[in-house]
Each structure stands twice: as structure tokens, then as C-alpha cells.
């Protein structure tokens, strides 16, 4: 019989109740308090219930949370690097009591699990950010997410009532127990796991084949289909690419399975976490790159994590972890050798080529050929189908500026010009109209302003996804919200930020409603430019002063930019 590596902690936890008990609990769940889970919670719950997070038996209690944050260990000393917590708002926590059973539901109200509440605690999020992510910088996506989440953590054992429903990639969704049974049946004993959140190209295939050859093993290709990073290529496109390139490996040497993980982009700690998860699936080798699960660079251009820091942390715990780390340098293409070479194998003076994500998106956007050495024809075809040439791709023109700057007038002029002179499908999301419909009921607090922009961005992204053009004209005073809007749209097409930079005194002079006067007198609270800040965009695609030229003239400048980018044919 094939002997697989032991699950982390020695026992593979499966946390579902027997069917009869689960049915009775579902029927009785209407009388219990509930918590509705967001997408990250749902990913964590599924991996808890299936045993991918073994030895955890639920969302972390305070003692485990503290031990993990401060020392990468559970309270009993077991190695574990990432907090797995159920965060809720103060209002949601106010009526809850330790000892209660709480129903965990999805957004449709389906009862998925019971949480026996053992701990209610309020974390020090600054401490968590520094210890887990190594920074308080809100430009780190993990830190930004942490700081905006609920301020109360609920801990306790979970009992599954039913499996989460998935309608996509059903044949690729394999639990740890199912995976272990498959590996044993195939008599695979040396299994290399590869974590990915991006489409694979020739360099990745070369890297994984080298890893397989190094240990005489098979490959578990285990891409993340939960939450990755804003701006990543969508899950469906990525998985289509994985399926297309499996044929480039030796026959019966690769198992493709998707993982519903919500990534945190926590670099070294996340690399260790990923290794533990793959160990629970039965892998005994794990590939770790130089910047594994890194979020890129901060605003100064420095990486959030040092090169090889992830490899060093996982290797430091290799004996205790019980899974062998395969550290690899990035692969680049040597034209002289006509082959892929690891960067640490390059000869002195040898030049090498690579295609960055930014360059790849440019190739896709402008229709120029992708180098044949970079990717496979079938992968390129899938990417081009998903990201068509600019003239056939959706885009959003996103105006931002003070009240009275002329955003709405300019948006209307742009829309008229496009409808009159092109065949593009155009939708206008004006700030005032959105406030009366899509965002009815929202006020002007920071949270409500953010919710308003995110709603606009969501609708704009859907328009862009279907090849249309969205013109958005909110005030959008906060840089973070504009960045979120950009990330949502750029998954599907182009985002053109236009800062309407009309001076404040001109905006006030135009104000027929007297809003600025009311704000200056204190009668109107939270008014942008007076009692609330406006964060000027650092590098918009276009900056226009609405007081210098006519709306038609300024709209023509935007049309010219769209033509230069190939977005109007």
C-alpha cells in the first residue's frame, strides 16, 4: 500500500455532522442566532470542514489566535502561521453569548454549519498586521482587508450541516480525503504540489517539470479559485488555461485540482500556510518561489518582502513541517541557449528575457504578438478570447473631482459625442442619479461614500465585462476607493481616470444650490473640499480643468485619448 505523508497534527479533521444529525440541526436552525458569511469566511469554512486546515476544528479561540500571531503556533505548540478567524461587527456581536450555538449561513440564507461559541474577543489589529504581514501600510492588500473587517472575533468549534454548493469545476473540486484516496489508488508516493493564482506559461511548466525530475515524482497542480488579488485574471480563464496545458506534461503524471482558498498575500507566513495545506492533501514536496504569495511593491517601489524570505521561513521549519520544500529561482528565457534558465544559473554577462504581467496585458490589449518562447498557442488563444483587441473591449471613463467641477456636464458631452460618432454601447452612471437609485439610503460618511463608489464600480465592471463603455461621474474623493474601482474594472477592460481639476473658487461660484455656503457655515456636514477631504489623484490618465475650455472641447480630448488607445476602432 502507498504510504502518504501524515496530515498536519496527525489526524485529518472532517467536521461534518452525520447526515441524520445534520438534517435535524438544519430544521432547528431557524430558532438560533445567525451570522452571514462573506466570501473569505466561506472559503475558510469550506477548508475547515473538509480538513484542509487540519488540525484546526473551527475558527480560532483567543488563546490560539494570540499564539499564532506572536509565534506561528497554536496554543498547544503545533506549527501554524495564519490566523483563521470569524470577524463580525460590534452590532452583530452585541447579542451573542459564549456557549451559544450560532448558525453560519451563506448570502442566500443557507445553513452551512453550527459554531459553538467559546470565545468573543476584540483583537489588536495593528499588532496583527505587524506580526502577520510585517507592515501597517494600507497599500498592502492583506493589511487593507484586515483593517476594514469586523472588529470582533468569534471563536469556537464548527460542525458542518452540508457542503457548500459549487456549480463550476465540479470535476476538479477534490477534498483532502478524496485526494489522498486518489493518490493512494494511483500509487503515487512522491507528490510535488504547485501553488498558483495566475495562468501558467512555458516558464512555469519548465519549473514544475524540473521539480518533478528532481524528486522523481508526480505533480499536484493546485491553483487557487477562492479569493486572490484584485486585478488578477479571472478564475474561469485561469482554469481553462490549466486544462489546456496539462497535455504538455508526461501522461498520467499530473493531477489538476482547484483549491477554494482565500489568499491573504502574506508572503513568508502564507508560504508556510500553503505548505501545510498541501501536506493535508497528501503532497510531500512543495514548490516555493522567491516571492511566494507576495503582494508586490509598496508606493516607494520596494518589495513588501525580501527575496527568498518565504523560502527561508518554510525551510527553517522543514523538519517539523514534515514536507520537503523545493526552492526555485524565477525562470527566464536565454536566447543564446534557446531554453529556459533559472536566474541563478545565468552565466556572467548572459542576457535573458521574460514577459511581466504588465507587458502581457499590453500585448493582449493592443493585439501585438506574444513571443512564441513565452507561452503556448492554446493558452494565448484562451487569453485573447477573454481579452479581445482594444476596439472590441469594454472600458470605463471614470471622472473624479469636486462638486461643481463640471463632471456631469463633461460626462454628458462625452456620451453625446460617442453616441453621435461611434458605434459603441455607452452607459452613464452620474453621481447624483446614482445617489437616487443604486445608492439610495446612503449618507456621506466615509463608509457610505466608499459603498457608493464600490457600487458604481461594480456596475461599471459589469458593463465593461460585456464589452460596453461605462462613463462614471461621482465625486470619488478618496484614493483608496478609486483604486478599488480601477481594480474591479481592469479585470475586464480599460479604466480611464479623468481628474476634473476645476479650482475650488470656481466650483463655489457655480454653486446654484448654495451647498458650499451651507458647508462653510457648518449647516452641511461632510462636504467634500470644505469639511471633508478631497484626495487629489496622483497620476490620472487625464487631468482637465473644467473652467478653461468648453465641455465639447474637453470631451474631444477624451475621445482623442480613447482613439489613441485603440478603444474606438
Task: Give every CB contact of residue 254 below 8 A, 6+ residues apart in sequence.
Answer: 218, 219, 220, 221, 246
Whether 340 is in a domain gets the answer: no
Chain mean position to CA 250: 32
User: Which of 537, 508, 534 lies closest to 520, judged by CA?
Assistant: 508
Beta partners for residue 156, in sequence order = 59, 117
Do 34 and 180 sit in the same domain of this protein?
no
From residue 412, alpha-carbon distances to 399, 416, 463 in Å are 11, 6, 18
> What pLDDT does residue 289 have?
87
Q: How many CB atoms lie within 10 A of CB 133?
A: 25
Q: Which three cell numbers stand for residue 478?
A: 478618496
How many whole angstroms separate alpha carbon 50 and alpha carbon 174? 10
Residue pointed to by grid coordinates 484516496: 181
Do 53 and 26 sit in the same domain of this protein?
yes
User: Is 197 tagged catalytic?
Assistant: yes
Which one of 334, 350, 379 terminates a domain? 334
Label residue 569 by pLDDT band (50, 70, 90): low
Exposed (0-12), middle (13-18) or buried (19+): which is 437, by Cβ within 10 Å?
exposed
pLDDT in tens, 231-249: 788 888 899 999 999 999 9
Label residue 390 by pLDDT band (50, 70, 90): low
408 is in an annotated binding site: yes
Eight-class DSSP state of 234? P
Q: Confirm whether pTM is higher than 0.85.
A: no
User: Which of 54, 58, 57, 60 lies closest to 75, judged by CA?
Assistant: 60
Q: What is the DSSP code string of 377-434?
A: HHHHHHHHHHS--GGGS-EEEEEE--TTSSHHHHHHHHHHHHHHH----EEEEEHHHH
> What pLDDT does residue 3 have?
84
Share of the chain above pLDDT 70, in %: 99
296 is in an annotated binding site: no
Do 232 and 320 sit in the same domain of this protein?
yes
47-233-231 Cα angle (round to 5)? 95
Q: Is 327 left (phi over 0), alpha (psi -120 to 50) or beta?
A: beta
> What pLDDT does residue 487 have?
92
423 is in an annotated binding site: no
Residue pointed to by grid coordinates 458604481: 456
> What pLDDT does residue 543 have?
97
524-509-539 Cα angle (round to 5)? 85
Lowest mean pLDDT among 231-235, 292-296, 373-377, 399-403: 231-235
514 is in an annotated binding site: no
From residue 442, alpha-carbon distances to 153, 453, 455 in Å are 27, 11, 11
pLDDT at 388 over 80: no
Whether 11 is in a domain gets the answer: no
402 is in an annotated binding site: yes
How many whole angstroms separate alpha carbon 304 and alpha carbon 378? 34
401 is in an annotated binding site: yes
> What pLDDT does residue 267 have?
96
Do 225 and 253 sit in the same domain of this protein?
yes
Whether 352 is in a domain gets the answer: no
User: Which of 180, 393, 195 lies closest to 282, judged by CA?
Assistant: 180
> What pLDDT does residue 2 have?
66
Do 399 and 467 sit in the same domain of this protein?
yes
Task: Give every CB contact of residue 329 below 8 A, 6+ residues apart in sequence.
Answer: 290, 342, 343, 344, 345
Do 290 and 395 sit in the same domain of this protein?
no
> What pLDDT does residue 229 have?
83
> What pLDDT does residue 485 have?
95
Which one of 307, 334, 361 terminates a domain? 334
Which one of 267, 300, 334 terminates a domain? 334
Q: What is the mean pLDDT of residues 165-171?
A: 90
Do 129 and 189 sit in the same domain of this protein?
no
> What pLDDT does residue 537 have?
95
Whether 341 is in a domain gets the answer: no
Q: What is the mean pLDDT of residues 264-284?
A: 97
How many whole angstroms separate alpha carbon 38 and alpha carbon 59? 14
- Among candidate residues 197, 227, 269, 482, the one labeled active-site is 197
pLDDT in tens, 91-126: 999 999 999 999 999 998 999 999 999 999 999 999
Label residue 183 by pLDDT band (50, 70, 90): very high
Beta partners for residue 162, in sequence order = none
- Among candidate residues 110, 116, 135, 198, the one labeled active-site is 198
> What pLDDT does residue 364 have?
79
Could you tell me if 429 and 439 are in contact, meaning their C-beta atoms sit under 8 angstroms apart? no
CA atoms lying within 13 Å on the CB side of residue 422:
21
Judging by DSSP bridges, how do beta strands 152-160 and 111-121 pair with one another?
antiparallel
365-369-371 Cα angle (round to 5)? 120
> What pLDDT does residue 27 have?
94
Eight-class DSSP state of 264? -
Q: What is the mean pLDDT of residues 454-458?
A: 95
Continuous H helices in 445-550: 446-465, 479-490, 504-510, 515-521
Residues 311-349, buried b or exposed e (16+ Cβ, 10 A)? bebbbebeeebbbbbbbbbbbbbbeeeeebbbeeeeeee
User: Is 536 tagged catalytic?
Assistant: no
362 is in an annotated binding site: no
Could you tell me if 102 and 154 are in contact, meaning their C-beta atoms sit under 8 angstroms apart? yes
To the nearest 10°, the Cα dihedral for 378, 379, 381, 384? 180
SS3 228: coil
> What pLDDT does residue 232 have?
80
User: Is 198 tagged catalytic?
Assistant: yes
Residue that wins the pLDDT comparison between 389 and 9: 9
Could you tell me if 177 and 332 are in contact, meaning their C-beta atoms sit under 8 angstroms apart? no
Whether 309 is in a domain gets the answer: yes
CATH number of the domain encompassing residue 302: 3.40.50.620
Q: What is the mean pLDDT of residues 138-158?
A: 96
From residue 522, alpha-carbon distances to 380, 402, 503, 516, 545 in Å are 58, 18, 21, 10, 28
> Which domain does 154 fall in, by range?
19-160
Do 451 and 492 sit in the same domain of this protein?
yes
Do 193 and 134 sit in the same domain of this protein?
no
Share of the chain above pLDDT 90, in %: 75
403 is in an annotated binding site: yes
Kindly report the backbone phi and psi dihedral angles of residue 223, in degrees, each rounded to the nearest multiple of 5, phi listed first. -75, 150
Residues 217-247, buried b or exposed e (16+ Cβ, 10 A)? bbbbbbbbbbbbbeebbebebbbbbbebbbe
Number of domains composing the chain: 3
Label residue 76 by pLDDT band (50, 70, 90): very high
Q: What is the mean pLDDT of residues 158-164?
A: 97
Q: What is the mean pLDDT of residues 516-523?
A: 92
Per the prediction, the chain carries an average pLDDT of 92
Task: Give every CB contact of residue 52 below 8 A, 6+ residues apart in sequence.
Answer: 175, 176, 259, 261, 277, 280, 281
Q: What is the DSSP code string of 525-538?
A: -S-BTTTB-----S
> What pLDDT does residue 565 have?
86
How many whole angstroms separate alpha carbon 209 and alpha carbon 194? 11
- Among candidate residues 196, 235, 284, 400, the one labeled active-site is 196
Label residue 435 by pLDDT band (50, 70, 90): confident
Do 433 and 509 sit in the same domain of this protein?
yes
CATH number of the domain encompassing residue 443: 3.40.50.300
Whether 218 is in a domain gets the answer: yes
Do 228 and 123 sit in the same domain of this protein?
no
Whether 379 is in a domain gets the answer: no
Whether 272 is in a domain gets the answer: yes
Task: Give every CB contact of residue 435 below 8 A, 6+ residues apart in sequence.
Answer: 442, 452
Label residue 210 by pLDDT band (50, 70, 90): very high
Could you tell me if 61 and 119 are in contact, meaning their C-beta atoms sit under 8 angstroms apart? yes
pLDDT at 1 over 70: no
Q: How many helices (H) and strands (E) does the chain have?
A: 21, 18
CATH number of the domain encompassing residue 95: 3.10.400.10
Do 151 and 181 sit in the same domain of this protein?
no
Could you tell me if 329 and 318 are in contact, meaning their C-beta atoms sit under 8 angstroms apart? no
Could you tell me if 302 and 207 are in contact, meaning their C-beta atoms sit under 8 angstroms apart? no
Amino acid at each position: 500500500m502507498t504510504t502518504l505523508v501524515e496530515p498536519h497534527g496527525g489526524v485529518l479533521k472532517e467536521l461534518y455532522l452525520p447526515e441524520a444529525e445534520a438534517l435535524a440541526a438544519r430544521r432547528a436552525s431557524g430558532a438560533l442566532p445567525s451570522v452571514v458569511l462573506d466570501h473569505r469566511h466561506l472559503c475558510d469554512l469550506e477548508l475547515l470542514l473538509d480538513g484542509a486546515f487540519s488540525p484546526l476544528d473551527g475558527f480560532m479561540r483567543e488563546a490560539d489566535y494570540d499564539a499564532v500571531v506572536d509565534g506561528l503556533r497554536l496554543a498547544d505548540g503545533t506549527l501554524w502561521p495564519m490566523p483563521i478567524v470569524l470577524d463580525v461587527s460590534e452590532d452583530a456581536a452585541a447579542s451573542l453569548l459564549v456557549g451559544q450555538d450560532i448558525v453560519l449561513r451563506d448570502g442566500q440564507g443557507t445553513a452551512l454549519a453550527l459554531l459553538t461559541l467559546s470565545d468573543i474577543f476584540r483583537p489588536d489589529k495593528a499588532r496583527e498586521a505587524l506580526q502577520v504581514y510585517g507592515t501597517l501600510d494600507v497599500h498592502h492588500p492583506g493589511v487593507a482587508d484586515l483593517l476594514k473587517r469586523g472588529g470582533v472575533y468569534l471563536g469556537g468549534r464548527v460542525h458542518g450541516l452540508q457542503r457548500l454548493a459549487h456549480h463550476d469545476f465540479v470535476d476538479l473540486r477534490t477534498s483532502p480525503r478524496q485526494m489522498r484516496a486518489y493518490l493512494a489508488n494511483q500509487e503515487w508516493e512522491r507528490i510535488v504540489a504547485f501553488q498558483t493564482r495566475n495562468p501558467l506559461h512555458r516558464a512555469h511548466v519548465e519549473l514544475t517539470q524540473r521539480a518533478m525530475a528532481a524528486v522523481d515524482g508526480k505533480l499536484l497542480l493546485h491553483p487557487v479559485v477562492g479569493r486572490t488579488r484584485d486585478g488578477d485574471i479571472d478564475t474561469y480563464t485561469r482554469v481553462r488555461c490549466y486544462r489546456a496545458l496539462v497535455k504538455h506534461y508526461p501522461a498520467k503524471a499530473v493531477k489538476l485540482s482547484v483549491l477554494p482558498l482565500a489568499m491573504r498575500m502574506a508572503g513568508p507566513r502564507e508560504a508556510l500556510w500553503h505548505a501545510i495545506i498541501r501536506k493535508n492533501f497528501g503532497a510531500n514536496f512543495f514548490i516555493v518561489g522567491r516571492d511566494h504569495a507576495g503582494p508586490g511593491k509598496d508606493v516607494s517601489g520596494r518589495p513588501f518582502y525580501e527575496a527568498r524570505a518565504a523560502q527561508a521561513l518554510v525551510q527553517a521549519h522543514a523538519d517539523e513541517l514534515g514536507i520537503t520544500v523545493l526552492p526555485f529561482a524565477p525562470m527566464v528565457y536565454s536566447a543564446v541557449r534557446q531554453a529556459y534558465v533559472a536566474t541563478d544559473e545565468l552565466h556572467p554577462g548572459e542576457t535573458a528575457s521574460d514577459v511581466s504581467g504588465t507587458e502581457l496585458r499590453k500585448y493582449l490589449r493592443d493585439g501585438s504578438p506574444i513571443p512564441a518562447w513565452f507561452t503556448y498557442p492554446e493558452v494565448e488563444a484562451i487569453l485573447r478570447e477573454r481579452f479581445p483587441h482594444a476596439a472590441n473591449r469594454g472600458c470605463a471613463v471614470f471622472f473624479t473631482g469636486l462638486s461643481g467641477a463640471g463632471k456631469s456636464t463633461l460626462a454628458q458631452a462625452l456620451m453625446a459625442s460617442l453616441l453621435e460618432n461611434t458605434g459603441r454601447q455607452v452607459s452613464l452612471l452620474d453621481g447624483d442619479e446614482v445617489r437616487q437609485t443604486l445608492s439610495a439610503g446612503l449618507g456621506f460618511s466615509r463608509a457610505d461614500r466608499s459603498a457608493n463608489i464600490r457600487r458604481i464600480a461594480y456596475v461599471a465592471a459589469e458593463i465593461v465585462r460585456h464589452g460596453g463603455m461605462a462613463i462614471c461621474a461621482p465625486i470619488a474623493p478618496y484614493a483608496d476607493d478609486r483604486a478599488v474601482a480601477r481594480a474591479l474594472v481592469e479585470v475586464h477592460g480599460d479604466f480611464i481616470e479623468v481628474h476634473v481639476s476645476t479650482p475650488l473658487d470656481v466650483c463655489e461660484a457655480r454653486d446654484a444650490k448654495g451647498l458650499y455656503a451651507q458647508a462653510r457655515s457648518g449647516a452641511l456636514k461632510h462636504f467634500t473640499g470644505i469639511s471633508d477631504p478631497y484626495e487629489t489623484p496622483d497620476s490620472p490618465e487625464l487631468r482637465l480643468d473644467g473652467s478653461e475650455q468648453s465641455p465639447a472641447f474637453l470631451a474631444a480630448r477624451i475621445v482623442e485619448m480613447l482613439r489613441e488607445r485603440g478603444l474606438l476602432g
